[in-house]
Amino acid sequence: MKHFFGKIFNWRNLKIAAYAVAAFAVFLVALNYGLEKYNQSKQWQEIKKSAEAFQKAEQELYQKMMADTYGGKTPQETLELFIAAVEKGDYELASKYFVAEKQEEWNKNFGVIKNIKEYISDTKEIRDNLSNGRFSEQKDRFILEKPIYTKFILYPSDVWKISEI
């Protein structure tokens, strides 16, 4: 029996076993490194896809904004056009003076406003106070804080849209 174990545990076999263990350890380290790089690659691909989707959505929004010509050359003119449309009862047109993402909401809102005459009166009060408003630092935003907080945004199509009322 001693002779059998002596043959198995000789220096040559121990070296081979040590090399095999070392090779297996190197394999595991390389596998771990490879998997880590693979996961990073997948994450970058997902980030790239998200960035591309964001850029596409941004481009579509920009194109939509460029095509939107409803609005005035000044915030005052946009508000005048808005008031005129509301007074005529053309709420679909009136809603088009809002930024794109709020047009549908405002078109629906006009159906639930109980006293349109009072609403028009409030809107005219905003118009009368527009000279008290101020442009933001970017010059593409106009904000009126009183009597009712109102914000206008200059679209790339060079028309002013109502962002908040």
pLDDT of residue 84: 92
Residues 101 and 34 in one domain: no
Q: Say whether both 77 and 137 belong to one domain.
A: yes
Same domain, 47 and 120: no
CA–CA separation, 165 and 155 (whole Å)? 17
Which of 66, 99, 119 is a domain's end point?
Answer: 66
Query: pLDDT per residue over 52-96, tens digit each?
Result: 999 999 898 888 888 889 999 989 899 899 989 988 889 899 999
CA distance 98 to 164: 8
d(C-alpha 152, C-alpha 164), whole Å: 7
> 156 and 75 share a domain?
yes
Domain boundary among 50, 66, 82: 66
Could you tell me the residue range of the domain that residue 44 belongs to? Answer: 2-66
Residues of the chain with confidence (pLDDT) below 50: none
The model carries a pTM of 0.63
β-strands 150-154, 160-164 pairing: antiparallel
Domain count, the chain: 2
Which pLDDT value is given to residue 10? 75
**What are the backbone angles phi and psi of residue 90, rounded to the nearest 5°?**
-90, 80
Note whether 76 and 114 are same-domain residues.
yes
